[in-house]
Structures are given as structure tokens and as C-alpha cells.
Structure 1
Amino acid sequence: MNRTGYENLLQAVGICVSARIPALLWGDPGQGKTAAIESARTAGWHVETLIISHYEPSDFAGLPVLVDGRVDLAPPAWAVRLRDHAGPAIAFFDEFSTASPALQAAALRPLTHYEVGALQLPPTVSFLAAANPADVAAAGWELAAPTASRFVHLDWELPLEVYSEALVTGAWPTMPVYALPDDFDRHLLAQRVLVSGFLRARSSQLSSVPKAAVDRGRAFPTPRTWDYAARLVALARAVEASDAVVRLLVAGCVGGAAAHEFLAWAAAQDLPDSRAILEDPTGAWFTGARADHVYVTLQGVVGAATQAGTPQAWSAAVVACCTAADQAGVDPAVPAVRALLRTRPAGAALPPEVKVFASVLALAGLLPGAGSGPGTTGSGGTGTGRAARR
């Protein structure tokens, strides 16, 4: 790894911290993992570093105490400090792979529910962990698959170039941290649309738990880790991180093979702007488009209409689905129109063009009575219109 690779890794870790998604840094002892994480203090973050193997499961589940005749679970001091800190904070679980499986399992509750005993941690807390590979760790344990799937896995290395320079100058690279940008939701929608489209095309990649124990302790695809990937790439794009950082993040979530396939697929997409489609839903957006392209584009339209939250946007999205059905075929447009009909806002008119989906939606129970007559699909008709308003 060279200096650029190290800075990309630092930025990837900072993006995980900023998105409040737990990350696990894998690297040999003495590589500066702890110092890099604690550098967030220079940006005003509070950091609680715990050598996790020195603790007991009760330090995460809470210590039983008797209060007014009932047993309560008292939180440890580190959790109280995190709760009482007014700004952003990091709970850093160091030497994670040397903790016993029981202790690793106990640490999952703070990671997933932000609870330590009876204490609820604020959403401003981020979780990080560091581990040595089992072959170099003192009394190391392989991570169980349920534990591994709760982390983004990043391989850590301190390059000689960085070490030799910083050793002389004393200026060590620091981990960048970010506030969520104003346009984060737009980027998040775009990435969730891409993940949804990719998994429609590659359904076997939704969940794939490795057979080998050593591989189950690292990144692999699950619904949770795909959601991690979408959120992290959204923030990476929002802060204009490089493609190399994006690759680190996606591979850290779902593994190298699935990440390569997803990123190659996503790079081949050239999607029109969803808001432009809502403004002109009858335009030639889908002529000659592949089925997977149509599906992904319409998922973006559904998301944009949902964000807009108006009856007009909803109706325009339905018209766009009908346009896609006419220009590229009904099948790739069906999931989008089904999603829209399940989330129809009050007062939204059902466009008459939806009759192109009448038989499919009637079978799904979304348009009872559709197809029974020429007036059944209009907003003022006697069949579908009444059913949709009920």
C-alpha cells in the first residue's frame, strides 16, 4: 500500500464513522489503528477506547443492581460518558478478535440497538473495532457469521512512506469525519435504486453466507450489508470521494467478488434524472431500453415521487410506468406500479392509462374488478376507481 491507498483507507473509515455504520479494521499489531481512530478527537469527537478482551459480557449487557426492590441493569462508566457527551462520539472496541465468542456476542447489542444495560446511547455515537488476524492474534478467535455481518471489514496497513515521513515530522495523517450533506437523501435514493436493480438482476447475491469458517468471519452479502453499502456509497458520492474509496467500502460490506460485480453493473447504467421523468412522464425515456434498465429507472421514479409526497407526483409516476409499458414492455414496469398503488396518497387520481396493467394488478389484488369494462381504470370509473379509493 502506498500513501494514496492509506489516505483512501482513512477516508473510508471516516465515512463509516460519519454514517454511523460499524467498521472493523483488520491489521497486524502496532500498525497505528488505534492512533488513527483517536485522531478524530482533533475534530471535536469524543473517543472511548475499550480493550474489549479486558471486559466481561456484563460490561455490555449491564451489571445487575437492586433498585427499589427490583433488579435493574446498571451501565458501565464508558457508556455513561458516551451518553453524556454533547457532540459526536466513537466507541472503539480494540483487540476485538481476542474477545471470546460470548463477549463478542454481548457487544452486538450496543452495535445493533445502541443499548448498554438500561442505558440508551444517543444516535450521535459511532462504533468501530480493530482486530488482528487470527494467525497473529494472541488467543484469537474467528468471528461468527452473525457478528461479522454487522461490520464493514477494512484491511489496515501502515505504509513505510507514511511511517517514515510522519516519524520525522510528527505530522500523522488524521481520519476525516463528515456531517451528512444536505443532498444526502438524494444520493441515498440513487444508491438504493442501483442496489435494488442489481439484486433483481442477480438475485443469488442477496444473501450468500460462505461455507468456510474463515470466510464467514469477513464480509459477505446479506440484506443488511447491502443496505450498509448503499448508505456508505451515498455518503462517499456526496462528499466526492474517489472511486477507490467506493470500492473499499462496497468490498468491505459484501466482499470482493460481489462488490466487483455490483460496481461493474452500476457503472454500465446511464439513468435519466427521476425528477425530469416526473415532469415529462410521457417522454421517450424507455424506447429501446433493456428490461433491467427500465426497472432501475422506474424504481428511481417511485423513490422521487415518494420523496415529493404529493398526489401530482404520484400520478405522474404512474403515467411514467404506463409509458414504460408501452415503450419497452409491461413486465419490467410491474414492480414499480405495484409499489405505487400500495402507497397511493389521499386525493391522488388514478390515471386512465393504468389499464395497460389491469390484468396483472387485478391478479395481485391491487385493482379488484379491473378489466371488467371500459370505465374500470379511470379515476371516475365504476370498477377500479371505486376499488382504489376504498
Structure 2
Amino acid sequence: MTSNQTVREALAVAVAANLPVLLWGDPGTGKTSTVLALGERLGLPVEAVVGSIREPSDFAGLPVVRADGTWFAPPRWAERLATTGTGLLFLDELTTAPPAVQAAMLRVVLERTVGDLTLPTTVRIVAAANPPGLAADGWELTAPLANRLVHLTWEVSAADIAEGFTRGFAADDGSPPPTAPTPAQVAAAKARIGEFLRVRPELLLDVPDSPERAGRGWPSPRSWAMAATALAAGEANASDEPVIAALLVGAVGEGAGYEALTWLRTLDLPAPETLLANPDAPLPERADRRHALLSALVAHVLADGTVDSWERAWAVIGRVARSTPDVAATSARTLAAHRPTGATPPTTVLELAPILRAAGLLP
């Protein structure tokens, strides 16, 4: 897979997961045509908005006095998306938007709010930008806006262009469009990212100290949540490792992103679904890996919400508790506190009590 193909797939996966994404690339390299082709592939109408020719009121709404108060009227492009009920909002030439316009975009990108209109949650957001030095009257992105986006670097080669001239530049390669991850998959991915941050708490927040760093992905609780959703989306679509890496690094930056990827790779944990189907599957030996495994398992079960998965999870927790009760304690308490209606505690729960009590984890 070429770097161009990797970014195309990462872009499609991010859009499927409804993550706001930004394509960085040199002028004239096909970013806009790629986004338009992706919208066509996914069956999403595209509304293109260029920041350099817009005012802050085009995003914050134009104040209109009414009998019942002031209404911040949304622009026509937002009304069209709201009327359609779905679509792709394409913020083109983002680095040509001055800081005042970027500030007005914040609620649009994060909350889908334009003036007093809230766009449907099914509206996706994609942006494209040239590096500020190559943009006409270019501006660095503000840190708050950059932290709301997954940043992907768009590169093209002569081979890519030659093939496009021959076959066209459509984003559809014949494969089925990617799908969004399930809530259970997102919950399990968040648990794994949470365990990584438990090991490396200093990476939770690293506010940029320069305009150049501020304009790209950087770690914060918000961007780590996006990274977890991206991880779940990549795994749900069986994406290659370079695609998942591009998404994680695009959310939290290179340093934090690659460290998280390395940690996740060395975990080599079975999926929660695999453990629930086969509670006797091999378990990792290291305590930190077992902790991450149980955190992901419990998060998956709580998101799933079924009686069957809740009861099956106790078998796995019981196995861990017999050798490392301190690792099992937190997961056991969380699972017990979220017992679904109609669930019968298995005998494993009773077996765990003496072990946890002896470890000083129960009264």
C-alpha cells in the first residue's frame, strides 16, 4: 500500500467513524478532488466552504432581531445540510482562514453548531489545508481548532498521478465503504488507551509551546478520545497497521501517538469478544497487560449491556483473581456495580470473595 493509499483509507475510516479530519498537503495535489470523490463513494452530498472568503458570522451565525429575541441565523450551506439530514461539510483552504474565522469554526467542528442551528450528527466534517508558508496569506491553525481534528499528511507520487490520469482519481477502489465501530468496540478501545495513559500519565496533556506545534495534532483528553475512536474504527474495518498509525498519530501527534502504538503492539491482547466466547483462552503473564485486558473486557461488556456477556465476563475475572487478585479487584467491582436486569451472579462471584478479602480488597 502506497502512502497515498494509506491516507485515502485513513480518511475514509475517519469519516465513517464521524471524526473531524484535516488533510495537509501542497497546493495542486488533488486534496479537494479526493474529498469530493469520497463523498460520492459514501453517498454523502458535499458542501464546500472556503474560510478565506467567509466572515466569522458565516459560522457563528448572523444576528437577526426577532420579536422573541435575537436569532443567530445560519448560512445557506448549513441549512442545506440540516434539510438533507446528512452530508459532508468540506472546509477547504483552512489555513487561509484568519484567526477570527478559525475561532468561529470551533463549535462547528466540535459540536456541529452553526449559529442557532445544530447540524445532524450524521454530518461529517473534512478539512483541507496547505502548509501556511504555501497558502495565500496563510495562517497557522490555532491550538484549539487543531486539537479538534485528526491530521493526515497528503502525499502524491508520479506513479499515483500517472495512474489517476489513466484510470481517474475516484476514491472508490471497488472495496466496500468502511463502517463505523460499534459502541462496544469504542468502549474497549478507550479502555486500552486509558490503560496506556495510566502507565504514561505525562502524555495525557502536552499543550504546544510554539505556533508550528500548535497547528498539528497534540495530546489532550479530547484528542485521546478521538484516538481511541480511530483505533476502534481501524480495527473494526480490519485496516492495515499503517492506516491505524496514521489515525492515532494524526489525533495526538507523533511522539505520543507512536509511543501509544508501540505499547498497544506489545500488549498483543485477545479481543474482548474472543475472551467472552472462550473464557479459557490464554491470558498474558504480565500484570499491566492483564490490567489492560480486563479494562477492555469490562468496557466492552458495559457497552454491550447484555446479560450473557456480563455473566461470561466473570469467568475471565475469576481466572485472573486466582493468581493476581489485585489486578482483578477494580474490574470485579466495576462489573458488579453494573449488573444488568435479570442477570444471575455466577458461582465465580462467590469464589472470588475469599481471594479478594485475603488480599485486603474486600471488607
TM-score in terms of structure 2 length = 0.87
Deviates more, 1:311-320 or 1:237-246: 311-320
RMSD (CA atoms):
2.7
Q: Decide whether the 8 Å contact of 1:26 with 1:131 is kept in 2.
A: yes
Q: Decide whether the 8 Å contact of 2:178 with 2:237 is kept in 1.
A: no
- 2:97 matches 1:99: yes
Residue 178 of structure 1 corresponds to 177
**Deviations 1:294-321 (Å, cap 9, x if unpaired)?**
1012113313432453456445534543
Bigger Cα Rg? 1
Q: What is the aligned counterpart of 1:334 among 329, 336, 347?
A: 329
Residue 80 of structure 1 corresponds to 79
Q: Decide whether the 8 Å contact of 2:187 with 2:303 is kept in 1.
A: no
Rounded Cα–Cα distance in structure 2 between residues aligned with 1:296 and 1:202 = 13
How far has the Cα of 1:150 moved from its partner? Answer: 0.3
- 2:61 matches 1:66: no
- 2:263 matches 1:265: yes
Tell me the amino acid that sits aligned with residue 267 of structure 1. R
Residue 127 of structure 2 corresponds to 129
SS of residue in 1 equivalent to 2:285:
coil
Q: What is the aligned counterpart of 2:246 among 239, 245, 248?
A: 248
Q: How do 1:130-209 and structure 2 match up within 5 A?
A: 130-167=128-165, 169=166, 171-174=168-171, 178=177, 180=179, 184-185=182-183, 187-209=185-207
How far has the Cα of 1:285 moved from its partner? Answer: 5.0
Distance change (3 Å), C-alpha of 1:175 and 1:24: farther
Residue 338 of structure 2 corresponds to 343
Q: How do 1:237-386 and structure 2 match up within 5 A?
A: 237-275=235-273, 277-278=275-276, 283=280, 286=283, 289-310=285-306, 313-314=309-310, 316-318=312-314, 320-327=316-323, 329-346=324-341, 348=343, 351-352=349-350, 353-358=352-357, 371=363
Distance change (3 Å), C-alpha of 1:139 and 1:341: same
Gaps (5+ residues) in structure 2?
none
**Deviations 1:263-316 (Å, cap 9, x if unpaired)?**
2222222324535645676x5855x71111110121133134324534564455
Tell me the amino acid that sits aligned with residue 234 of structure 2. A
Q: Decide whether the 8 Å contact of 1:151 with 1:253 is kept in 2.
A: yes
Q: Decide whether the 8 Å contact of 1:149 with 1:220 is kept in 2.
A: yes
Rounded Cα–Cα distance in structure 1 between residues aligned with 2:316 and 2:257 = 31
SS of residue in 1 equivalent to 2:156:
coil
Q: Decide whether the 8 Å contact of 1:233 with 1:249 is kept in 2.
A: yes
Distance change (3 Å), C-alpha of 1:69 and 1:81: same
- The ranges of structure 1 where at least 4 consecutive aligned residues each deviate by more than 6 angstroms after the TM superposition are 359-362
TM-score in terms of structure 1 length = 0.82
Q: Decide whether the 8 Å contact of 2:184 with 2:303 is kept in 1.
A: no
Tell me the amino acid that sits aligned with residue 164 of structure 1. A
Rounded Cα–Cα distance in structure 2 between residues aligned with 1:30 and 1:299 = 46
Residue 119 of structure 1 corresponds to 117
Residue 47 of structure 1 corresponds to 46
Q: What is the aligned counterpart of 1:34 among 32, 35, 49?
A: 32
Distance change (3 Å), C-alpha of 1:277 and 1:96: closer
- Percent identity over the alignment is 36
Residue 24 of structure 1 corresponds to 22
SS of residue in 2 equivalent to 1:172:
coil
**Deviations 1:13-69 (Å, cap 9, x if unpaired)?**
111212111111111221211111111343232111111111111111111112334
**Deviations 1:63-90 (Å, cap 9, x if unpaired)?**
111233422111100101111225x411
Rounded Cα–Cα distance in structure 2 between residues aligned with 1:109 and 1:67 = 23
Q: Decide whether the 8 Å contact of 1:11 with 1:175 is kept in 2.
A: no
Rounded Cα–Cα distance in structure 2 between residues aligned with 1:280 and 1:79 = 49
SS of residue in 1 equivalent to 2:23:
strand
How far has the Cα of 1:95 moved from its partner? Answer: 1.4
Rounded Cα–Cα distance in structure 1 between residues aligned with 2:101 and 2:360 = 50
Distance change (3 Å), C-alpha of 1:53 and 1:152: same
Distance change (3 Å), C-alpha of 1:292 and 1:137: same
Deviates more, 1:112-121 or 1:36-45: 36-45
Deviates more, 1:303-312 or 1:96-105: 303-312
Does 1 or 2 have the higher relative contact order (CA < 8 Å, sep 6+)? Answer: 2
SS of residue in 2 equivalent to 1:135:
helix
SS of residue in 1 equivalent to 2:22:
strand
Residue 106 of structure 2 corresponds to 108
